Structure 1
Amino acid sequence: MAVGCFTLMKGWQLPGAIAGIAILGILGAAFTALLYAAPLPSLMGILKDAYLQHVIGFSLKQASLSALLAVGIAVPIARALQRRHFFGKTLLLRLASMTLILPVLVAVFGLLTVYGREGWLALLCHRLGIHYSFSPYGLSGILLAHVFFNLPLATRLLLQALQQIPTEQRQLAAQLGITGWNLFRFLEWPWIKRQLVPAFVLIFMLCFTSFAIVLTLGGGPQATTLELAIFQALNFDYDPGRAALLALVQLVCCGGLLLFSHWLTPVGAHDVSLRQHWRPRVEGIWGAIIDSIAILVLILLLIPPLIAVAVAGIGPQTLSALSDPALWQAVILSLKIALVAGGCSVALTLMLLWTSREYHRRALSGWASTIDACAMIILAVPSIVLATGAFLILNQTIGIDSSPAALVILINTLMALPYASKLLNGPMRDLANQYSHLCLSLDIHGWQRLRRIELPALRQPLLQAFAFASLMSMGDFGVIALFGSQDFQTLPFYLYQQMGAYRTQQAAVTALLLLLLCFLFFILIESLADRHADR
């Protein structure tokens, strides 16, 4: 029956249909396995649970505050980075892009070293005679960590929107003498608004489903999210039915917000300029002060925690820790999983967006939103729920293999889809708006259009999406926590074992190595992307 349905589809419908059905089938199987593992508890009984109400309320509160802070601060930072050109700007942008895919344990270690009660900032305040009262635990610590991870993401998305403003529009604004607030209101805001709601929704769902940050910085039952409650139900209480119901509540919340985002977000593509990028001239002392403060905020947020990781990892123990063969086995396994998962994620994203874009061009917004939701719905499904569902399915059928690399790659591929989709969605629509009529007149379609037109023009965003997906897989800990063992351990799992065994010095070296691998890999991909952008 499915084959018959596929034969009735047109060529541009097949990629998205195949990818969407595969994604929904995997998610449905994982969730069904949870429901089948235990009888579903009483719905009204759980919804009346005061603790569950507190968990839902705190999840919404911390996610809303985190998203508002990240997106709100990102607007002046993105404008400053777009208008100002200074030494180290490229490196700062690459560091900003890396924060999303930094391993959480590495970043939390750096944040605690800087902002902890005995951290660098506390010592500085003590020497200056200033009372330091900030606590890196509880709501304040969660917000700090979420802003650290998501402010650079919001900045990158908004900066990309500003860079897409056609040169002709900027030249016209300069000729008319439009500057300051009027320039922001009439020229930049329409383009920023295009990415504002999607960026807020993406960051909200990232924070709403946050697990490792809340686990390490939550500080107790008062700071517990739905994701952490699901983990507790699965690992401490072993109550799959309750975990499935909590996941359903999370799915409804995030799914509703996703539909709201699609309703508010404009779907039309904008014109793209073929001229060289316009370098705006910003005059006035107040503009320079505001831009300098915005850039300084980004630098002070990003750089000190990364320096803290580097300082802790360099010492007498470095050479002995690097000589451990198990460390390099973990590095090789992490790289293999990351590269395969990154490639698969980009391929699936292309299939979804190709069909979604064609639906949009035919004014079939309902079908287009359905295809788009197949990628974004991953954010509403906790990785631990997906991994646990897969574990239950395999455990009750063929059993868990001693090296479940394929399963880890599959889950990491799915978890990276929303980020790859955000990076490729805008460029693919703009490209279609620019070349669709030409391709139609030349009878270039299907595979020939993808090979000759799409892939060469999309090399820069494709490489960026591949870098994000690969490095997210390299730094993932949530999935490997269920499937890792002494014979199958990635670098984050190896780091977790060292921290659990109180091998602090060796763990610092492993954290630094993981940070350097992510940084060097990302610089390599970004350099290739910039080279293609210049072409």
Structure 2
Amino acid sequence: MARRARPLGPAVAAGAAAAALVLALALVPLGAVAWRAEAGAGLGPADWAAVRFTLWQAFLSAALSCLLAVPVARALARRNFAGRGVLITLLGAPFILPVIVAVLGLLAVYGRSGLISDALGLLGLGPIDIYGLTGVVLAHVFFNLPLATRLVLQGWLAIPSERFRLAASLGFAPSDVARVLERPMLRATLPGAFLVIFLICMTSFAVALTLGGGPRATTVELAIYQAFRFEFDLGRAALLALVQFALCAAAAVLAFAVALPTGMGAGLDRPVARWDATGRALRLTDAAWLAFAALFLILPLGMVVAKGLPGMAGLPASVFAAAARSVLVALGSAALTLALALPLALAAVRLGGAGGAALQAAGTLSIATSPLVIGTGLFILLFPVADPVALALPVTALVNAAMSLPFALRALVPAVAEAEAGFGRLADSLGVAGRSRLRLVLLPRLRRPAGFALGLSAALSMGDLGVIALFADPSQATLPLQLYRLMAAYRMEDAAGAALLLLILSLALFWVFDRGGRAHAAA
């Protein structure tokens, strides 16, 4: 009662201002896009083909990611082995991996000159053609299989151990456990996981840019880029941007609508013992799926390192200049992300209820907004009053911060709520409020999630190849854009070295911020 009676204070005002800024960044460019779209103009056959390809590749990518994630997550859920924690951590690595680096690794394994094509050549067979739909889906599965596995694994770990103990006492066979316990959990978990990955694949740009292209393998994102960058047809780019937003918004609404509870209930947090999975055949099956997942993830990364080491020594100066610009953009994006996420999290927890939920929803609106949609709208707004090319790097940092904000909120809001629940009443009784409350009570307990949010934002921004591709000229290229240009010029040795440099910098930024957030904290 006492906590509800105290004034809301400046925290809510700061959070409301941050939410307003995020809403403006998402909706004002969209409004500019809608205003610029020419009345009566419609989509041509090539544009509708891009819409169909976008939906089809996103469906295939999400479906394959979820189908493969089920046996991998099941194996992780019912097996304890040395290195299990390392493998689970590895499943998070592709999420912060620069897309262009992963694409280069996939080409080294599955491309026409890759390991598999070389092995097929020894057997007298032709090489693999990775470009087009096959390559786009393969890359999306590489990125999203780990995400799907983590989402499904959480569903498995949420089944109380008492349910498995009861199943064992009733003599359930593995098929009975699957029918009674696992399938209901999957019915509740998989639809949401599918639609989240579908949404991610809908807004993928770098994968389509490097592995797609051509009339039959162009996504809406890529069509916006082509209309804007090569044809300078702002009306067509605007109309495509509206279509992209409508598709993403529909997928986001469906993702929230199908997130249903499993109905498993709570347990007593006892260790889970899986008596149903002791057979030798099941152990071998689980081992095979875990080996497949590890090899699928590690081999492309290993090829990036193996091919990049020889090329790093002779990298041109332009690559290091692009790397410096990328680091500056990443640091700026991380700072902006925290500057928006912290007041939003504080205000959401302070308000609670519908008000807090509304603030969080405003902060996560960018998940349904394509970076290219925002970039196109910002270009339309800036073009009459300033040179958008001169503002390429600040705009890129701002848009990257908006894209990272939903993940930062997921890390910060629970931590703020826990700190307030544990120390809020004591701080109220002592009259600790405002900056003193933030400095003495909250910030010491937010170091870990804030460090994680900063590292994640910096790593995601470091590898971004989206808005910068719309604005930048050759003198302002970031490292991902410079890497793409090296690949387009068939300077593959330099591209491999640049990819390794980008990988090192991305992981280093994440590690420095994440480690800094853990310093002087209990393990």
TM-score tier (shorter): 0.7 to 0.9
User: CA offsets, 1:336-385, max 9 Å, x none?
Assistant: 321331232244234445555666x53x3xx5664444344323332223
Cα offset for 1:14? 3.5
Kindly provide the amino acid, as one letter, of the partner of residue 320 in structure 2: W
Q: Is the 8 A contact 1:423 1:465 kept in 2?
A: yes
Kindly provide the amino acid, as one letter, of the partner of residue 300 in structure 2: P
Cα offset for 1:83? 4.2
Secondary structure of 2:109's counterpart equals helix
The 3 A distance-change label for structure 1 pair 172 and 380 is closer
Cα offset for 1:145? 0.7
Distance in structure 2 (CA, Å) of the matches to 1:17 and 1:268: 34
Secondary structure of 2:313's counterpart equals helix
Question: In the alignment, which residue of structure 1 is the partner of 2:491?
Answer: 503
Question: In the alignment, which residue of structure 1 is the partner of 2:72?
Answer: 77
Q: Which moved more, 1:467-476 or 1:76-85?
A: 76-85
Q: Which moved more, 1:459-468 or 1:286-295?
A: 459-468
> Unmatched 5+ residue regions in structure 2?
1-6
Kindly provide the amino acid, as one letter, of the partner of residue 499 in structure 2: A
The 3 A distance-change label for structure 1 pair 39 and 347 is closer
Cα offset for 1:290? 3.2
Q: Is the 8 A contact 2:109 2:303 kept in 1?
A: yes
Q: Which of 40, 43, 50 does residue 42 from structure 1 map onto?
A: 40
Q: Which moved more, 1:403-412 or 1:505-514?
A: 403-412
Secondary structure of 2:476's counterpart equals coil
Q: 1:250-289 counterparts in 2 under 5 A?
A: 250-265=244-259, 278=271, 280=273, 283-289=278-284
Q: Which moved more, 1:144-153 or 1:231-240?
A: 231-240
Distance in structure 2 (CA, Å) of the matches to 1:439 and 1:190: 39
Q: Is the 8 A contact 2:14 2:347 kept in 1?
A: yes
Distance in structure 2 (CA, Å) of the matches to 1:39 and 1:442: 53
Q: Is the 8 A contact 2:34 2:242 kept in 1?
A: no
Q: Is the 8 A contact 1:94 1:523 kept in 2?
A: no
Q: 1:338-357 counterparts in 2 under 5 A?
A: 338-356=330-348
Question: In the alignment, which residue of structure 1 is the partner of 2:3?
Answer: none
1:118 maps to 2:119:
no
1:379 maps to 2:370:
no
Q: Is the 8 A contact 1:258 1:376 kept in 2?
A: no
Cα offset for 1:414? 0.9
Question: In the alignment, which residue of structure 2 is the partner of 1:443?
Answer: 428
Q: Is the 8 A contact 1:12 1:446 kept in 2?
A: no
The 3 A distance-change label for structure 1 pair 141 and 128 is same
The 3 A distance-change label for structure 1 pair 413 and 441 is same
User: CA offsets, 1:233-255, max 9 Å, x none?
Assistant: 21233221222122112212221
Q: Which moved more, 1:135-144 or 1:486-495?
A: 486-495
The 3 A distance-change label for structure 1 pair 269 and 456 is farther
Kindly provide the amino acid, as one letter, of the partner of residue 385 in structure 1: V
Cα offset for 1:94? 4.1
Cα offset for 1:522? 3.7
Question: In the alignment, which residue of structure 2 is the partner of 1:407?
Answer: 395
Distance in structure 2 (CA, Å) of the matches to 1:192 and 1:136: 32
Cα offset for 1:63? 1.0
Kindly provide the amino acid, as one letter, of the partner of residue 314 in structure 2: S
Q: Which of 394, 405, 411 does residue 382 from structure 2 map onto?
A: 394
Secondary structure of 1:477's counterpart equals coil
User: CA offsets, 1:271-320, max 9 Å, x none?
Assistant: 99998x947566332442332122122112212211222222232x5423
Kindly provide the amino acid, as one letter, of the partner of residue 102 in structure 2: A
Kindly provide the amino acid, as one letter, of the partner of residue 161 in structure 2: R
Secondary structure of 2:383's counterpart equals helix
Question: In the alignment, which residue of structure 1 is the partner of 2:505?
Answer: 517
Q: 1:156-305 counterparts in 2 under 5 A?
A: 156-159=150-153, 165=158, 169-170=160-161, 173-174=164-165, 177=168, 180=174, 196-265=190-259, 278=271, 280=273, 283-305=278-300
Distance in structure 2 (CA, Å) of the matches to 1:272 and 1:345: 35
Question: In the alignment, which residue of structure 2 is the partner of 1:4?
Answer: none
Q: Is the 8 A contact 1:247 1:381 kept in 2?
A: no
Secondary structure of 1:416's counterpart equals helix
Kindly provide the amino acid, as one letter, of the partner of residue 494 in structure 1: Q
Q: Is the 8 A contact 2:113 2:127 kept in 1?
A: no
Question: In the alignment, which residue of structure 1 is the partner of 2:454?
Answer: 466
Q: Is the 8 A contact 1:495 1:507 kept in 2?
A: yes
Cα offset for 1:90? 4.6
Cα offset for 1:262? 2.5
How many residues are treated as equivalent by the alignment? 509
Kindly provide the amino acid, as one letter, of the partner of residue 464 in structure 1: F
The 3 A distance-change label for structure 1 pair 375 and 75 is farther
Distance in structure 2 (CA, Å) of the matches to 1:272 and 1:440: 28
Cα offset for 1:53? 3.1
User: CA offsets, 1:448-498, max 9 Å, x none?
Assistant: 776666655555444333322211100112222234345433222332343
Distance in structure 1 (CA, Å) of the matches to 2:177 and 2:440: 38
Distance in structure 2 (CA, Å) of the matches to 1:16 and 1:105: 35
Question: In the alignment, which residue of structure 2 is the partner of 1:330?
Answer: 322
Cα offset for 1:89? 4.2
Distance in structure 1 (CA, Å) of the matches to 2:485 and 2:450: 34
Secondary structure of 1:223's counterpart equals coil
- How well do the aligned residues superpose, as a CA RMSD in angstroms? 4.0
The 3 A distance-change label for structure 1 pair 124 and 534 is farther
Cα offset for 1:91? 4.4
Q: Is the 8 A contact 2:155 2:185 kept in 1?
A: yes
Secondary structure of 1:237's counterpart equals coil
Distance in structure 1 (CA, Å) of the matches to 2:307 and 2:165: 49
Cα offset for 1:147? 0.4
Q: What percent of counterpart residues are identical?
A: 36
Cα offset for 1:266? 5.1
Distance in structure 2 (CA, Å) of the matches to 1:116 and 1:343: 38
Q: Is the 8 A contact 1:198 1:261 kept in 2?
A: yes
Kindly provide the amino acid, as one letter, of the partner of residue 341 in structure 2: T
The 3 A distance-change label for structure 1 pair 368 and 416 is same
Q: Is the 8 A contact 1:41 1:241 kept in 2?
A: no
Q: Which of 86, 107, 113 does residue 102 from structure 2 map onto?
A: 107
Q: Which moved more, 1:487-496 or 1:16-25?
A: 487-496
User: CA offsets, 1:47-89, max 9 Å, x none?
Assistant: xx44433322222121122112222322332343344444544
Kindly provide the amino acid, as one letter, of the partner of residue 428 in structure 2: D
The 3 A distance-change label for structure 1 pair 104 and 287 is same
TM-score by length of 1: 0.80
